[in-house]
Amino acid sequence: MTPDVDAAMGRALALAAAAVEWGDTPIGAVVLGPDGTVLAEAANEREKQGDPTAHAEVLALRAAARVHGDGWRLTGTTLVVTLEPCTMCAGASVLARVDRIVYGADDPKAGAAGSLWDVVRDRRLNHRPQVTGGVRAEESATLLRAFFRRQRGL
């Protein structure tokens, strides 16, 4: 893991922790440019915005496209996210032409980067981002566990 990616995961974890403050599931995402600089970052804002598509990855990809300077294409970028992307976010990463996805915890219930589905490496697609999972996974899983425990009032 390069220092850039490790630092980005640290930032994504901090964003994830912040999402809890407004009642969203703790998930954070950072998009790194080809040179490793941060292009954009976001936390999950589904509850905050009342928007079913306001996942951290989608918000970060949209913001990154606004500053990347290649229209909607995010060629050469890395999406760093605390939880394995769902089908929507995996699909958005493919459509955005992200080069690489680095994620923290696996999501056996909805993960689309290898757990339940593998949208990002489907051979029928002509763009397939490289995937690295399990980066600082325990920190991400701890945030999620604490959140769901509170949700259930335990």
Residues 56-115 that bind Zn ion (CB under 5 A): 86, 88-89
Using rule CB under 5 A, residue 43 touches Zn ion:
no
86 is in an annotated binding site: yes
Let me know if 57 is a catalytic residue: yes
141 is in an annotated binding site: no
89 is in an annotated binding site: yes
The residue annotated as part of the active site, out of 45, 57, 84, 138, is 57
Residue pointed to by tokens 């949208």: 119
Number of chain positions touching Zn ion (CB under 5 A): 4
Using rule CB under 5 A, residue 42 touches Zn ion:
no
For residues 35 and 109, which CB has a smaller minimum distance to Zn ion in the complex? 109
For residues 35 and 90, which CB has a smaller minimum distance to Zn ion in the complex? 90
In our burial notation (b when 16+ CB lie closer than 10 A, e otherwise), range 66-97 reads eebeeeeebeebbbbbbbbbbebbbbbbbebe
Q: What residue ranges bind Zn ion (CB under 5 A)?
A: 55, 86, 88-89
